[in-house]
């Protein structure tokens, strides 16, 4: 079977990296379903993959994309035929930038008439946020929590999840228009790192307290700064490396990124009772798909109970993939970005 897809053909700027092509889909496995896509979501890992900085991505040429909303059209022999015709939210291990997508039956959930952009706000980004805040090492009442990229898809959800637990939230943003969103989501304090050294401002706000947790998708020199602010039992959740994107000097920029992160000795972490938690949701999905399913169900339930909300940063049509990618890479986007097929 053939389908139309946006294919990543070379690394670099989005206008040069993607080509719209007809691609061949493999035969449907017994535990897979075929979905006719209505829309798919963008994640920052897509930007890193486009620059050749995401080792989990398939070799070129490849089709990116982790999530989509659409209707099940076919099922494998070991899947219930009752799925046919159901509108679902699906996780895909790449391949999401296509009109027809194959994925495992355990990676789909029925969403009824929930708008696609809302459903996808709760999928990859929502699952990432819930896994860190509520699953692996839950936030506790009165903890002091720093959230980097707080106006992004993961960050805006983390603010709400942390406030549900009674934490004091420090939201780090990069422009004043994002301050409004961070406050709307419930942040107690908002720091614009482009107008002040965030670590110095945070130290003032903390007073005699220390950070309990930092949620960091930036890495680079922010890792060292955050580690100094953590107190005993402090956790740094590292779930990205956006500071690495945009370097103008190739391998030298990458080496500087690694140098800026510094060197952490395990014995030092033990002596100070601090921890660094690396989070790669693709690895978790591969090894423990039931965890992904559980986190997604919890996020959907919280949304249905009006305990959390989402922020949609942009709904683009299929002719605007380049603009959507550029917006996400620019750091100016807020919330979830999605692409709708016409």
Phi-psi label, residue 112: left if phi above 0, alpha if psi -120 to 50, beta otherwise: left
For the chain, 342 residues long, the average pLDDT of each consecutive 10-residue run is 97 97 97 98 94 92 97 98 98 96 95 96 96 96 98 96 98 95 97 96 97 94 94 95 63 66 80 93 91 94 96 96 96 94 94
Distance CA 127, CA 121 (A): 9
* pLDDT at residue number 91: 94
H/E run at residue 322: helix 321-330
Position 79 scores a pLDDT of: 97
Of residues 118, 104, 107, the one with CA closest to residue 39: 118
The answer to whether the peptide bond before residue 61 is cis (omega within 30 degrees of 0) is: yes
> Do 117 and 300 contact (CB within 8 A), yes or no?
no
Please tell me the chain's helix, strand, coil percentages from 3-state DSSP, rounded to the nearest 5: 40, 30, 35
Instruction: State the pLDDT at residue 263.
Output: 73
User: Distance between CA atoms of 240 and 99, rounded to whole angstroms?
Assistant: 28
Rounded distance between C-alpha atoms, residue 40 and residue 320, angstroms: 13
- Would you state the pLDDT for residue 244? 67
44: helix, coil or strand?
Answer: helix
pLDDT for position 181: 96
pLDDT at residue 219, rounded to an integer: 87
**DSSP summary character for residue 173:** E
Domains in the chain, please, with CATH?
2-122+311-340 (3.90.180.10), 125-282 (3.40.50.720)
pLDDT at site 250: 62
Across the strands, what pairs with 216? 238
Write down the pLDDT at residue 241.
75
Asked if 124 contacts 150 with a C-beta cutoff of 8 angstroms, the reply is no
187: phi > 0 → left, psi -120 to 50 → alpha, else beta; which?
beta
CA distance 27 to 331: 39
End-to-end CA distance of the chain: 21
For position 247, what pLDDT does the model report? 57
């Amino acid at each position: 079977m053939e389908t139309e897809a946006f294919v990543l053909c070379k690394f670099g700027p989005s206008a040069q990296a993607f080509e719209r092509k007809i691609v061949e889909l493999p035969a449907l496995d017994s535990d897979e379903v075929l979905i006719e896509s209505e829309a798919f979501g963008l994640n920052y890992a897509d930007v890193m993959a486009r620059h050749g900085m995401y080792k989990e991505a398939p070799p070129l040429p490849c089709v990116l994309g982790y999530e989509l909303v659409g209707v099940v059209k076919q099922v494998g022999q070991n899947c219930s035929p009752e799925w046919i015709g159901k509108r679902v939210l699906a996780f895909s291990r790449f391949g999401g930038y296509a009109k027809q997508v194959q994925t495992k039956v355990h990676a789909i959930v029925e969403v009824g008439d929930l708008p696609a952009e809302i459903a996808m706000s709760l999928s990859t980004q929502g699952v990432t946020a819930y896994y860190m805040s509520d699953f692996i090492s839950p936030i506790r009442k009165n903890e002091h929590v720093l959230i980097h990229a707080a106006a992004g898809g993961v960050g805006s959800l983390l603010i709400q999840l942390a406030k549900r637990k009674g934490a004091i939230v420090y939201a780090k943003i990069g422009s004043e228009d994002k301050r409004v969103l961070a406050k709307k989501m419930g942040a107690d304090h908002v720091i614009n790192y482009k107008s002040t050294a965030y670590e110095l401002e945070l130290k003032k706000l903390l007073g005699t307290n220390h950070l309990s947790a930092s949620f960091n998708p930036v890495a680079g020199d922010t890792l060292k700064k955050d580690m100094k602010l953590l107190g005993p039992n402090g956790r740094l959740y590292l779930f990205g490396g956006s500071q690495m994107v945009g370097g103008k000097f190739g391998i030298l920029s990458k080496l500087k990124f690694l140098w800026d992160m510094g060197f952490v000795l395990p014995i030092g972490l033990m002596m100070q009772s601090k921890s660094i938690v690396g989070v790669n949701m693709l690895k978790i999905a591969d090894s423990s798909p039931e965890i992904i399913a559980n986190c997604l169900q919890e996020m959907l339930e919280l949304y249905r109970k009006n305990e959390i909300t989402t922020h949609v940063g942009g709904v683009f049509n299929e002719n605007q993939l380049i603009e959507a990618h550029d917006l996400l890479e620019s750091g100016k986007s807020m919330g979830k970005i999605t692409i709708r097929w016409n």
